Amino acid sequence: MPSVSRRYPTGRSPFERPSGAADDELRAPVVLMVSGGADSTALLVLAATSALDIDDGRGCARIARERLHVLHINHQLRGLDADEDEEFVRGLAAEYGIPCTVERIDVAAAAAATGDNVENAGREARYAAAAKLANELSEQFGTPRSAARICTAHTANDRAETFFMNAIRGSGASGLSSIPRRRNRIVRPLLDRTHDELCEYLRMRGIVWREDDTNRDTRYLRAYVRHEVLPVVERRNPRTVASIASTCDILSDEDAYLGALASRLMHDLTRKQERGIIALDAARLAASEVALARRAVRSALLMVEAEARLEARHINRVLELVSAGAGSVTLPMGIDVRVEHGLLFLRARSADASRVAAWLEVPGRLELASGKVLSARLVAVEHGADPVELARSHAGEWGQSSVLLDAAACGIDGTLGGRLWVDTPHPGDLVCPLGMHGQSKKLADLLNETQLPLADRSRVPIVRTDIRGSVVWVGGIRIDERAKCTPHTCYLLELNLLQASDFEE
């Protein structure tokens, strides 16, 4: 566990509610992420003595001192230098009367455990610690978590460097928008200032800061861009940083607009969604503008697996399958992608394997993770036979493990066949259980009456006419009144839910 220590240099409790303050935004905590470098040192000094825009609706304004709280992360990567950075930040926070929290995290060990690189592991650790502290302080301040602010010291230089880094790796508009001014509670009030401006600001006030020698190690991509790429570009245009900042703002605005359009497209395309599984209308996706289609695919992939590291080639491969109308591919994090019967299915590796979501061909069979097999076949009603009596006697012999339904009522052509959609129960599902004379009932209530264990209820195979169609059979439990055989039934649809060993080879 990381060690945590806090100091409150002043005798005043920062948790006292200011008299007359009615707006949570003006009372909520503001966490300053301070490493001890020039930029974050300037952030601390400016927050304590000047006006900053922390995106709380007031524009550039002074922040009440009792709202401020410094957070320093000791990554334990640089030995004595890291410890001296920690003491420097403690002393600086105390000088300005701001409470300080220090967390020591073995970032190298965290990176090794996850297989990530040290840079990413350090960033994840910093933001996780900041979110945790902001939540704790919000509770102590008595303000909503959403009203808290986490301030980082990113500058226009950082934004330009990130722009080049993402361009080198390969990125779309979202990546080239670089560092956003705000993401949820995280705000970057120094994004319009350059590193040199902040250094000059500190020098004019006689304030020192700490230097991290690893920032010059060009084995890291950011350091390479900072010391090898930007200086070359700035020789051609000294205002490169400012120019890129303007470009990032334009790209960010356009990215937000396209993102909103893609979100609406996703809503229109989605045919089924549950944990770890999404089905999209492949035909409509193929007909969409490619700029929106790319975004919709990326959004859907991240919905099923939020940690997936997606590249342009992955998105393009999915769109190739959609264009072809068939095929499958496995993407990072084991995401299974396949196009079949006009739908694009995305399934996370972590999706519960026992929760089925697939087509059942008629005739055909579908193997379930439970070890059972769901099968379907068609039988023509012989002349003079009574379909209702056939279904009744069949049920008497097999119970609910095998049922006879009216093929036409299930949307199946008796001579050509078809397909049924099989998945698991969803909130709001309604059925018309046989014997209730057409009255509807919540599927959840029907399952409750079976006295099945709760975990088993969520895995009962539900057979539907289509991906959004009505239920025809609650597998092994009850058929739907609308699918029952009548005297006019011409073709019987036989559905079986049996152990694999019960099927004849």
- Stretch 222-237: mean pLDDT, rounded? 92
Tell me, what's the pLDDT at 458?
77
Neighbours of 29 (CB within 10 A): 26
Tell me the pLDDT band of 215, cut-offs 50, 70 and 90.
confident
pLDDT for the residue numbered 171: 78
Write out the residue limits of the CATH 1.20.59.20 domain(s) in the chain.
Answer: 246-347
Give the lowest-confidence range in 26-35, 96-105, 175-184, 212-221: 212-221
Judged by DSSP in three states, 177 sits in coil
CATH class of 358-502: alpha beta
CA 456 from chain center: how many Å?
27
pLDDT tens per residue, range 304-336:
888 788 888 899 999 999 999 999 999 988 899
User: CATH 3.40.50.620 in the chain, residues?
Assistant: 3-153+188-236
Average pLDDT value for residue range 52-60: 87
Q: If you classify domain 3-153+188-236 with CATH, what class do you get? A: alpha beta
What count of other Cβ atoms lies within 10 Å of the Cβ of residue 12?
11
Predicted local confidence at residue 152, as pLDDT: 96
Q: How far is CA 489 from CA 264, 304, 434, 447, in A?
A: 43, 42, 16, 29
Name the segment(s) of the chain with CATH classification 3.50.40.10: 358-502
Assess whether pLDDT exceeds 70 at residue 352.
no
Q: Give φ, ψ of 305 to 5 degrees.
A: -150, 95
- Is omega for the bond preceding 99 within 30 degrees of 0, making it cis? no
Q: Name 419's bridge partners.
A: 361
Position 19 confidence tier, pLDDT thresholds 50, 70, 90: very low
Under CATH, what is the fold of the domain 246-347? Chorismate Mutase Domain, subunit A (1.20.59)
Average of pLDDT values for 454-460? 77
